[in-house]
């Protein structure tokens, strides 16, 4: 079908400051003007979007697809389906795979594979350092040429400030932003949960908030020194928000993202040693959660993401301190964010929420996505912000089931996902 | 007042009520007499199979559980980390399910990971008894400590108990804190600030870094082992400085009340956390603890073993 008209929807396109009831036209895989679809003989698909939000296709810039190397957890194909079911039309996949994409050919393999099997746009992030070891720079220029949208050692963190400084300086030359998983190894040690009341009570090794904040501070200094964007991944502490707020007010090219679980849950959830509450960085205290919500409200934290981290059941069904970190999130992300940020805490409106999932990441990564401008690729997400639903991991498209949100009742979700004019998922 | 027992597992003291703790201690009273008889054996667990599954090395706790089980007429097998398939890459869950397939009724687990006993208890029909999990809980040690205090001082409520040493990494400390607070004792934790973080105050106890101020007020001093192997991250400058500031030396022992009890879960580092003369002195009830450990473990095995399917 060449032409689609999405009728009577509430079009929200923050990039173009659109917020109105309107029809949206799609022709030849692109957003079109009404005049382009006048031909009455053309085969027109009509979608009734009355009562629904018509948003630019959502972007999640922090996803682990596990391929190559760990296809028992997730594949590019299954991860992309999970993204579509969650309302995401573009995802950025992290480089902690085997082999690590610290070379052009692994990036080419991911892109080829995605082009064949993925129903959404899959954009790879390359490694900053060879084999994510934090010791030698990966060929960042070649990675940029091969099409990475960012570089990161996610899951790891470059401890040597000099190496990080040179990486950022070099990335500036080739024009790719640097993303960083903020974890000071000497402060965090073997920590597995937030250092605080519950770690003290349960005798689990603590992961102090200062272990994140020390690296956030480092990144602020380097972003300033190198005059190049550094984006702090999955931030979790009140101190990180405070540091970021101050630096952004001064115009430093620093940004931060937030995952749903870090505002939906606190470290109290770990008390039964359920490994589906074990993630890195860990669930924090209520004080931190409150500060994160305020950071979202005032724009300090500008990007929403999932840190979708699939693990097989047998890998998670082990002793708490040896279990792998991480939970899946693509299929609960939008529901949790709408439910918590718009409905429950009323920290932002749905327009800002969509902005944080579209044009904010698109601008940072310089993506050709995240808008409904005429001529843009027709990636569109239809959202019912008031739809009540219950999370059921058995219905997930992801190959994994490691979610702590099974059974949660949420309000708001994507009901149809359109990529390049084609519906790839529908409730 | 609890008059019967409903739990299949003993995972920790945090989940028990004061009544349940007292019920275990009362049950232990009955079993303590068994040890003084000529025939030190009762048929309570005859036909039941107990597995001592020790993934972390231990001699005294394992031996105590083994002897307790034998005195209850259970069949006992011992499995340690080196003899289990865990070294061949089998998961804890699979190993435990294999033991259950052999119809083990009671699994006594010592494990380096906090929460491991709860993890198995959720999976298995067999009773799981926590014999120490990481830095989390060591419930039978705390129960035998409570039993010993109660035996010597008749009641625990109102007593001032000082726990001295490496609290941060101690499962003995945590179980003692939970039990003592529930039974109405006043608890002060004493040690270097790196090993006794202030966060512990939220558990309803006091924190002090001045042992000389605490000792004269204490009715019980429970000394914890200073774990040499955990010094890798510089929690304190060295043994010499530890002794100087926190060791229960002969001189410091003079600060103690005449009827103060000195306890230690063992094994003792003589000359480190406690001087030899004090360990062997009049205040010391360290060997009573060992004897009482047997009675308490018999009580726990008897109660939980009676619940298991």
Taking only the tens place, the pLDDT of each residue in B266-303 is 889 898 899 999 999 999 999 999 999 999 999 999 99
- Local structure of B239: helix, strand or coil: helix
Contacts of A234 (CB under 8 A, 6+ apart): A62, A181, A257, A258, A259, A262, A281, A305, A307
| Number of domains, chain A | 2
pLDDT at residue number A366: 97
* Contact: A202, B171; criterion CB under 8 Å: no
Share of chain A above pLDDT 70, in %: 99
Using CA coordinates, name the residue in chain B closest to A202. B136
Flag whether pLDDT at A43 surpasses 90: no
Ranges A75-89, B74-88, B140-154, B189-203: which has the least confidence: B74-88
Q: Residue A273: list chain B partners with CB under 8 A.
A: 114-115, 118-119
> Is A370 within a domain?
no
> Can you give the pLDDT at residue A40?
62
Looking at the structure, do residues A15 and A143 belong to the same domain, yes or no?
Answer: no
To test the contact with chain B by mutation, choose from A187, A191, A197, A203 the residue with the greatest count of B C-beta atoms within 10 A, namely A203
SS (H, E, C) A126-175: ECCEHHHCCCCECCHHHHHHHCCCCECCCCCCCCCHHHHHHHHHHHHHHC
Mean pLDDT of chain B: 92
Per-residue pLDDT tens digits for A331-361: 999 999 999 999 999 999 999 999 999 999 9
Distance CA A182, CA A180 (A): 6
Domain match, A273 and A387 both: no
The values of phi and psi at residue B220, to 5°, are: -140, 135
Q: Return the residue of A nearest to B204 by Cα.
A: A201
Of A60, A102, A267, A307, which residue is the catalytic one? A307
Place of tokens 């009671």: B106
Decide: A333 and A304 in contact? Cβ < 8 Å. yes
Per-residue confidence band for B58, with pLDDT thresholds at 50, 70 and 90 = confident
Q: What is the mean pLDDT of chain A?
A: 97
Helices B18-34/B171-182 angle, 10° precision: 110
Provide the β-strand partners of residue B261: B220
Q: What are the chain A neighbours of B111 within 8 Å (beta carbons)?
A: 319
In a domain, A306, yes or no: yes
- pLDDT, tens digit, 9 for 90 and up, residues A86-142: 999 999 999 999 999 999 999 999 999 999 999 999 999 999 999 999 999 999 999
pLDDT at residue B87, as a whole number: 66
Same domain, A137 and A280: yes
Q: What is the distance in angstroms between the Cα of B136 and the nearest Cα belonging to chain A?
A: 4
Which of A189, A202, A317 lies nearest to residue B114, judging by beta carbons? A202
Q: Which of A118-127, A264-273, B212-221, B271-280 has the lowest mean pLDDT?
A: B271-280
Asked if residue A128 belongs to a domain, the reply is: yes
Q: Is the pLDDT of residue A196 over 90?
A: yes
User: Is B231's pLDDT higher than 60?
Assistant: no
Asked whether residue A329 is assigned to any structural domain, the reply reads: yes
Structural domain ending residue among the three candidates A313, A343, A365: A365
Rounded Cα gap, residues A191 and A142, in angstroms: 36
> Is A307 marked active-site?
yes
In the prediction, which pLDDT does B1 show?
60
Do β-strands A3-13 and A18-27 pair in parallel, antiparallel, or remain unpaired? antiparallel
- Kindly state whether residues A143 and A288 are assigned to the same domain: yes
- A102 and A175, same domain (yes or no): yes
Residues A46 and A66 in one domain: no
Is the confidence at residue A406, as pLDDT, over 60?
yes
Confidence of residue B83 (pLDDT cuts 50, 70, 90): low
Q: How confident is the model at residue B229 (pLDDT cuts 50, 70, 90)?
A: low
A48 and A61 share one domain: no
For residue B309, name the pLDDT band (cuts at 50, 70, 90): very low
pLDDT score, position A268: 98
For residue A271, the chain B residue with the least C-alpha distance is: B115
Is residue A371 in a domain?
A: no
Looking at the structure, tell me whether residues A410 and A284 fall in a common domain. Answer: no
Q: Does A327 map to a domain?
A: yes
The reply to whether A206 and A191 lie within a common domain is: yes
- Domain harbouring A391, CATH code: 2.30.40.10
- pLDDT of B165 above 50: yes
Name the residue with tokens 């190049």. A228
Whether residue A214 sits in one domain with residue A130? yes
Residues of chain A that touch chain B, judged by Cβ-Cβ distance less than 8 Å: 189, 196-197, 200-204, 272-273, 314, 317-322
Q: Which of B92, B203, B233 sits opposite A201 (nearest CB)?
A: B203
The answer to whether residue A301 sits within a structural domain is yes
Give me the helices (H) in chain B, please. Answer: 18-34, 60-71, 92-101, 116-123, 139-153, 171-182, 211-214, 239-246, 250-253, 276-279, 286-305
> What is the SS3 assignment for A117?
helix
Domain coverage including residue A45: 3-53+376-426
The tokens of A62 are what?
Answer: 């922090």
Please indicate, yes or no, whether residues A349 and A215 belong to a single structural domain of this protein.
yes
In a domain, A240, yes or no: yes
Rounded-to-integer distance, Cα A389 and Cα B20, Å: 42
Which pTM value belongs to this model?
Answer: 0.94
Residue range B223-251: mean pLDDT, rounded: 82
Are the Cβ atoms of B119 and A273 closer than 8 angstroms?
A: yes
Spatial distance between the Cα atoms of A217 and A252, rounded to a whole number of angstroms: 12
Check residue B16 and give its pLDDT. Answer: 97
Instruction: Please give the interface size between A and B, counted as residue pairs whose CB atoms are below 8 Å apart.
Output: 57
């Amino acid at each position: 079908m060449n032409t689609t008209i999405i009728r009577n929807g509430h079009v929200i396109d923050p990039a173009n400051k659109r917020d109105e009831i309107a029809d949206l036209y799609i022709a030849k895989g692109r957003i079109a003007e009404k005049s382009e679809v006048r031909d009455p003989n053309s085969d027109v698909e009509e979608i009734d979007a009355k009562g629904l939000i018509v948003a630019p296709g959502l972007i999640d810039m922090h996803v682990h697809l596990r391929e190559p190397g760990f296809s028992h957890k997730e594949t590019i194909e299954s991860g992309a389906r999970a993204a579509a079911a969650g309302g995401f039309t573009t995802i950025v996949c992290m480089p902690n795979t085997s082999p690590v994409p610290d070379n052009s050919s692994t990036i080419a393999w991911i892109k080829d594979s995605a082009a064949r099997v993925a129903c959404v746009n899959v954009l790879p992030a390359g490694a900053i350092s060879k084999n994510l070891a934090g010791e030698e720079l990966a060929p960042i220029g070649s990675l940029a040429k091969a099409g990475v949208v960012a570089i990161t050692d996610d899951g790891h963190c470059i401890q040597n400030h000099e190496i990080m400084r040179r990486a950022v300086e070099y990335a500036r030359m080739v024009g790719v932003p640097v993303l960083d998983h903020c974890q000071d190894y000497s402060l965090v040690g073997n920590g597995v949960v937030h250092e605080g009341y519950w770690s003290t009570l349960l005798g689990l090794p603590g992961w102090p908030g200062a272990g994140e904040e020390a690296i956030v501070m480092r990144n602020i200094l380097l972003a300033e020194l190198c005059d190049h964007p550094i984006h702090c991944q999955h931030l979790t502490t009140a101190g990180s928000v405070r540091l970021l707020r101050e630096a952004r007010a001064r115009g430093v090219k620093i940004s931060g993202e937030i995952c749903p679980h870090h505002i939906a849950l606190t470290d109290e959830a770990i008390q039964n040693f359920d490994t589906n509450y074990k993630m890195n960085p860990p669930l924090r205290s209520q004080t931190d959660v409150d500060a994160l919500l305020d950071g979202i409200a005032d724009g300090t934290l500008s990007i929403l993401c999932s840190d979708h981290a699939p693990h097989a059941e047998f890998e998670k069904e082990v002793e708490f301190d040896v279990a792998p970190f991480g939970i899946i999130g693509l299929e609960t992300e939008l529901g949790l964010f709408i439910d918590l940020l718009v409905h429950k805490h009323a920290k932002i409106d749905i327009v800002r929420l969509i902005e944080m999932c579209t044009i904010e990441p698109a601008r940072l990564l310089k993506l050709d996505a995240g808008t409904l401008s005429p001529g843009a690729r027709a990636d569109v997400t239809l959202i019912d912000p008031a739809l009540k639903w219950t999370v059921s991991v058995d219905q997930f498209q992801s190959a994994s089931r490691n979610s702590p949100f099974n059974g949660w009742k949420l309000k708001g979700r994507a009901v149809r996902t359109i990529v390049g004019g084609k519906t790839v998922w529908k409730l | 007042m609890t008059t019967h027992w409903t739990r299949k597992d003993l995972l920790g003291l945090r989940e028990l009520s004061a009544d349940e703790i007292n019920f275990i201690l009362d049950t232990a009273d009955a079993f303590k007499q068994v040890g003084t008889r000529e025939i030190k054996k009762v048929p309570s667990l005859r036909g039941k199979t107990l597995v001592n599954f020790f993934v972390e090395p231990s001699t005294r706790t394992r031996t105590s559980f083994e002897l307790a089980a034998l005195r209850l007429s259970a069949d006992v097998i011992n499995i340690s980390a080196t003899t289990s398939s865990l070294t061949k890459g089998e998961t804890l869950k699979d190993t435990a399910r294999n033991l259950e397939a052999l119809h083990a009724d009671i699994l006594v687990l010592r494990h380096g990971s906090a929460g491991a006993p709860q993890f198995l208890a959720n999976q298995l029909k067999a009773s799981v008894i926590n014999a120490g999990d990481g830095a989390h809980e060591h419930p039978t040690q705390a129960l035998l400590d409570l039993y010993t205090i109660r035996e010597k001082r008749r009641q625990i409520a109102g007593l001032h108990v000082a726990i001295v040493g490496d609290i941060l990494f101690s499962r003995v400390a945590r179980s003692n804190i939970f039990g003592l607070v529930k039974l109405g004792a006043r608890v002060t934790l004493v040690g270097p600030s790196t090993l006794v973080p202030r966060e512990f105050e939220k558990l309803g106890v006091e924190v002090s870094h001045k042992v000389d101020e605490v000792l004269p007020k204490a009715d019980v001093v429970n000394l914890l082992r200073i774990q040499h192997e955990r010094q890798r991250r510089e929690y304190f400058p060295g043994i010499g400085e530890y002794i100087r500031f926190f060791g229960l030396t002969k001189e410091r022992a003079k600060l103690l009340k005449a009827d103060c009890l000195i306890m230690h879960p063992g094994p003792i580092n003589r000359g480190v956390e406690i001087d030899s003369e004090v360990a062997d002195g009049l205040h010391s009830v360290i060997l009573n603890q060992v004897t009482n450990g047997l009675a308490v473990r018999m009580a726990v095995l008897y109660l939980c073993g009676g619940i298991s399917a």
